[in-house]
A and B are shown apart, each in its own frame.
Chain A
């Protein structure tokens, strides 16, 4: 390219660039004034409400459904069973071909004949209001024949355990074995081998707005409009079309404001599929908003893992090998369409990935059970891999009497050791473990904190320091889902146009759930074009009005959607300068755009305002030279091709106090240093990190879906399922090291999950550090007071 805009650094470093600057997100006022539009706010003419009758049993045969009396209730429009609905929507199987051997059974929008978890829908009641539908639900009688539930993942594969789906032969959904280097020999040659079993509580996302959908089938247009709080509108379009027997073009997915997502809203749930089908069947808009009980029973759960692990270490601190044997129970079906094998697969991929040790043996088993489905939630697999890896490293350090920082210094991949690959074949372009660790230690004042800890111990105050390094998968290419046959786009597109008054309209396929997708898109486009941000309006979340793309998940919005925005804006800029050159009789290469004006590149002299240029193009094209057809709209798409994933890295530290009398843990301070490459908006990145950390802290201390042995979720409400409150959270200091990816001109990697990836590991290590004088070690989260007191031998 010979254009003046060929140099990306110049584009990003322009004096009026917004890249790297903290600017407020556009449209926050709407949300702060209560003028947002969440799906739960939407009302349409003739809209009816669906309420699902859900199974009270974890496993049962549905013998009979008696709905005649309920149908007479006021306001009832229809009562629909699974068998009836299956004429409108086909079942699905949540498998992908690249996860070899993954199996699952056909799942229906509403159960037919058999329910497989407490909360699975057995009938839909549609009425003119939600309250009336709830009245009628209580009058629907279902006769169940209760079947033996499979609840404990540890015995799910035992021969005497019932097989949930007989057609599958057993309860094993997926298994992966990986062997790299010579782990057997490495463990033999190690001076010390430390083993532990790490246990992770099943928990869930608790989006403050529950899942919600309004489906509006227009029979006259043969078109279904789906209003849904989803992270992936085009994926929803494709899945809904596939199972309703429609073409993608017959479905429009609109996603306005979304009240929290965190991966919970990146899936397609059975009750959402049922809602689409009910609208088509009943030929009117149908609204489904989960209540909180339903959210706990049907929003995907995550993390429920038990991981036996060991580490071999030399006395000089050299880590020789890692080995894991991971087990997870995913509920009765592999979730659709992303599958429920990804988390275990990620655990296998990621354990030990920040370290030099080349010897690694891993096994992961994914089993079915009669509990709610599990699937991808923020930082998929990372908290488990990080907690296991960093827990083992701390145990190894304690065994050989080495400081926890020193053992990491000796084993983290050196910052000049890139590019390189992990024992599982993960390719790292450029990471910064050592620079990040050094920065973290400086931020927290590590040495003085250690001194403080030692001093306080004398007064029977037990504080701990926990450190956790991590790697994070971001910017996934087609390697994540596409290669396995899922129609989940890994590329994103952005269209940018200059309108007739010189304002910029930008349509992007990434979505917004509060991360700042709109802001970062506007910042990039404004910077590259040379316009002020208030001139840029961003449109997203509408399959009819945005380019085709993946959406916002897996820390991909900034890195992939942001690069598409940059490339589209570059083309528009070139096109604008071409027109300006014609109008001004100047060489386009001698012109620039600064602060909404076309200027002379040499001296910055203002030549023509963009508004005036647009006026000429749109209203007086007759004055332009013959043969010049201005194109004031440009579209570009982007997907990473060189690396399957852009790995990021970081390190977290926790400083906390354990009350050895009560078992309570008080978080005093948390630090994070992470490296997400180019930072587009420092404040937004920091807030993603902080929010992510707090979700990880919730998992570390509070959050757990507690099932009893019959498969009953016993704490499915916000009073009993604890999430972090402001009063118990610490201030979180965030620092950065910047290693841009060379895969894109923007150089941005993802930042949305880094906080969640390492927070629990840092806390667990800090608790064990605090408890070290007592010889107590805890390898389970959430770290409840009961767990702490048990470890201390007090109860």
Chain B
């Protein structure tokens, strides 16, 4: 087996140094080494979107990136986005609309939805559906999720009172 490599990165604002096997993917690194189990693993081949995280500001599939590739990067996971309050309104909208059932897709779904809202502050339903199409949900049928994202977008556009 190839010897482990040292990596150094920022995860949810914390500086992390670790020795990892080169074959370890980023999702497994987050889950198994940092115990950030909010990043879920659904398919391990880049299709389902459950492991979606933010890497240097862009969303990526944690299962398609090696941990060694993330050395020097800034990684944000659902735990970080929750604690910073960045997506608190989106989470509240999901809660009100019951936009999750089993919750397994939800961290990835929230990260992806927030990515859309940062790129496109006023998406229509079709745009929302298109952007979320890389994140599978088997429980909700998606409509509640689309509703929650739409409501959040509208609320963010309203001038602060």
- Which stretch (B2-10, B64-72, B103-111, B151-159) binds chain A? B103-111
What is the predominant secondary structure among interface residues of chain A facing chain B?
loop
Report A-chain residues with C-beta under 8 Å of the C-beta of B129: 726-727, 729
User: Which B-chain residue is minimally distant from A35 (CB atoms)?
Assistant: B38
- Which stretch (A322-330, A414-422, A688-696) binds chain B? A688-696
Q: How far is the CA of A34 from the CA of B109 in the complex (A)?
A: 11
Q: How far is the CA of A690 from the CA of B44 in the complex (A)?
A: 27
Interface string of A133-167 (1 = CB under 8 A from B): 00100000000000000000000000000000000
Q: How large is the interface on B (under 10, 10 to 19, 20 to 34, 35 or more residues)?
A: 35 or more
A28 in contact with B43 given A34-B79, A690-B144 (CB within 8 Å): no
User: Which B-chain residue is minimally distant from A733 (CB atoms)?
Assistant: B143
Contact among B48, B98, B105, B140 for A718, CB-based, below 8 A? B48
A694 in contact with B141 given A259-B102, A514-B101 (CB within 8 Å): yes
A717 in contact with B103 given A683-B98, A731-B143 (CB within 8 Å): no
Contact among B38, B43, B128, B144 for A33, CB-based, below 8 A? B38
- Which stretch (A201-209, A448-456, A532-540) binds chain B? A201-209
A292 in contact with B45 given A208-B102, A726-B133, A726-B146 (CB within 8 Å): yes
Report A197-237 residues with CB < 8 Å from chain B CB: 205-210
- Which stretch (A36-44, A109-117, A179-187, A560-568) binds chain B? A36-44
Interface check A7, CB cutoff 8 A: no
Contact among B98, B104, B125 for A209, CB-based, below 8 A? B104
Report B-chain residues with C-beta under 8 Å of the C-beta of A238: none
A260 in contact with B140 given A29-B95, A34-B79, A35-B79 (CB within 8 Å): no
Report B-chain residues with C-beta under 8 Å of the C-beta of A691: 101, 138-141
Contact A726 B95 (CB under 8 A): no
Contact A208 B47 (CB under 8 A): no
Interface check B50, CB cutoff 8 A: yes
Contact among A693, A717, A728 for B43, CB-based, below 8 A? A717
Report B-chain residues with C-beta under 8 Å of the C-beta of A35: 38, 79
Contact B141 A729 (CB under 8 A): yes
Report A-chain residues with C-beta under 8 Å of the C-beta of B75: none
Interface check A373, CB cutoff 8 A: no
Contact B100 A205 (CB under 8 A): no
Contact A34 B82 (CB under 8 A): yes
Q: How far is the CA of A209 from the CA of B42 in the complex (A)?
A: 6
Contact A718 B143 (CB under 8 A): no
A208 in contact with B138 given A33-B78, A34-B82, A687-B144 (CB within 8 Å): yes
Contact B40 A259 (CB under 8 A): yes
A513 in contact with B102 given A28-B94, A32-B91, A208-B50 (CB within 8 Å): yes
Interface check A24, CB cutoff 8 A: yes
Contact A687 B94 (CB under 8 A): no
Contact among B77, B106, B134 for A32, CB-based, below 8 A? B106
Report B92-134 residues with CB < 8 Å from chain A CB: 94-98, 100-107, 110, 125, 128-130, 132-134
Report A-chain residues with C-beta under 8 Å of the C-beta of B146: 726
Contact B45 A74 (CB under 8 A): no
Contact B91 A29 (CB under 8 A): yes
Contact B50 A727 (CB under 8 A): no
Report B-chain residues with C-beta under 8 Å of the C-beta of A283: none
User: Which B-chain residue is minimally distant from A132 (CB atoms)?
Assistant: B1
Contact B141 A205 (CB under 8 A): no
Contact A206 B138 (CB under 8 A): yes
Q: How far is the CA of A729 from the CA of B133 in the complex (A)?
A: 10
Report B-chain residues with C-beta under 8 Å of the C-beta of A291: 44
Q: How far is the CA of A41 from the CA of B41 in the complex (A)?
A: 10
Contact B107 A131 (CB under 8 A): no
Q: How far is the CA of A16 from the CA of B107 in the complex (A)?
A: 34
Report B-chain residues with C-beta under 8 Å of the C-beta of A24: 95-96, 98
Report A-chain residues with C-beta under 8 Å of the C-beta of B106: 31-32
A687 in contact with B38 given A208-B105, A208-B138 (CB within 8 Å): no
Contact A209 B136 (CB under 8 A): no
Report B-chain residues with C-beta under 8 Å of the C-beta of A30: 103
Minimum Cβ distance to chain B for residue A790 (Å): 27
Report B-chain residues with C-beta under 8 Å of the C-beta of A9: none
User: Which A-chain residue is minimally distant from B132 (CB atoms)?
Assistant: A726
Interface check A577, CB cutoff 8 A: no
A34 in contact with B77 given A718-B45, A727-B133 (CB within 8 Å): yes
Report A690-724 residues with CB < 8 Å from chain B CB: 690-695, 717-719, 723-724
User: Which A-chain residue is minimally distant from B39 (CB atoms)?
Assistant: A34
User: Which A-chain residue is minimally distant from B101 (CB atoms)?
Assistant: A514
Interface check A258, CB cutoff 8 A: yes
Contact B42 A292 (CB under 8 A): yes
Report B-chain residues with C-beta under 8 Å of the C-beta of A731: 125, 143
Q: Which interface residue of A74, A262, A691, A755 has the most chain B CB atoms within 10 A?
A: A691
Q: Chain A residues in contact with chain B, CB under 8 A?
A: 24-25, 28-38, 40-41, 74, 131, 135, 205-210, 257-262, 291-292, 513-516, 683-684, 687, 690-695, 717-719, 723-729, 731-732, 755
Please list the 5 inter-chain residue pairs (A to B) with the smallest Cβ-Cβ separation, ordered nearest first. A34-B38, A31-B103, A514-B101, A259-B104, A694-B141
- Please name 7 pairs of A and B residues whose Cβ atoms are closer than 8 Å in the assembled complex, sorted by A: A33-B38, A34-B37, A36-B103, A37-B37, A38-B40, A725-B132, A726-B129
Q: Chain B residues in contact with chain A, CB under 8 A?
A: 1, 21, 23-24, 31, 36-45, 47-48, 50, 77-79, 82, 91, 94-98, 100-107, 110, 125, 128-130, 132-146
Q: A24-B96, A258-B102 are in contact. List 19 more A-B contacts (CB 8 A).
A: A28-B100, A31-B103, A33-B79, A38-B37, A40-B37, A208-B48, A208-B50, A208-B137, A209-B42, A257-B102, A292-B45, A514-B103, A684-B98, A687-B101, A690-B140, A725-B133, A725-B136, A729-B142, A731-B143
